[in-house]
Chains A and B, each alone.
Chain A
């Protein structure tokens, strides 16, 4: 069943600007993950944030998690043309669960 909902569905920015994507979910989670999908390729894991964490950084990526609002955001700073891709959030419901539930994704276009 659909869990995450990304917002916006599409985002177009100039190279060098920051890009923010949001994800909302409905049920309690163990962790939330962000993935990137380049055109014609599979999904690539970017970053994972546990339910007891509020913020996490990895290079130019910053992820926040607000479990009270059941929402997360992914910030990409100083965007590059190579960041052009679709970005998906995925929720993991609990320890030992085999399943990730993916949102519908945000299509990011970074214009050189």
Chain B
């Protein structure tokens, strides 16, 4: 009955590979997010989808492509992985009204060899 679930929890892969991270929320929220947390714990927003529509697209390389097949899912595909992509990626969701908190998954730790 996890509210926001991400898979996989750990992802170890070689430079140049393509990988995907999946996220699902069962809270009935209309907005989902991807964040990147670096080694210094700084959390930076990457993308946001509201009702399957891309709302926020921060300065992220084109190698990162989010896909939202429905309101409950937001997946992240990464092409041609680079060493600098090593980080923890968090999915989050909320209902977009003022004063609504975001709910986070437990993160996917991506390590590039």
List chain A positions with a Cβ less than 8 A from chain B.
2, 30-31, 33, 37, 40-45, 48, 50, 86, 88, 92, 94-96, 98-102, 104-105, 107
A105 touches B41 (CB 8 A): yes
| Shortest Cβ gap from B31 to chain A (Å) | 6
Tell me if B85 is interfacial: C-beta within 8 Å of chain A: no
Q: Are B106 and A33 in contact (CB under 8 A)?
A: no
Q: Smallest distance from the beta carbon of B43 to chain A beta carbons, Å?
A: 4
CB of B101 within 8 A of CB of A48, answer yes
Q: Which residues of B contact A92 (CB under 8 A)?
A: 98-99
Residues of B at the A interface (CB closer than 8 Å) are 4, 31, 40-45, 48, 50, 55-56, 90, 92, 96-99, 101-107
Complex Cα distance A48/B98, Å? 11
Task: Give 27 pairs: A residue, B residue, CB < 8 Å, sorted on A.
Answer: A2-B42, A30-B98, A31-B99, A33-B101, A37-B41, A42-B4, A42-B104, A42-B106, A43-B90, A43-B92, A44-B104, A50-B99, A88-B43, A92-B99, A95-B97, A95-B98, A98-B48, A98-B55, A98-B56, A99-B45, A99-B56, A100-B45, A101-B45, A102-B44, A104-B41, A105-B41, A105-B43
A86 touches B105 (CB 8 A): no
Contact yes or no, A43 B99, CB < 8 A: no
Is there contact, CB below 8 Å, between B99 and A86?
no
Q: How far is the CB of A38 from chain B (nearest CB, A)?
A: 10
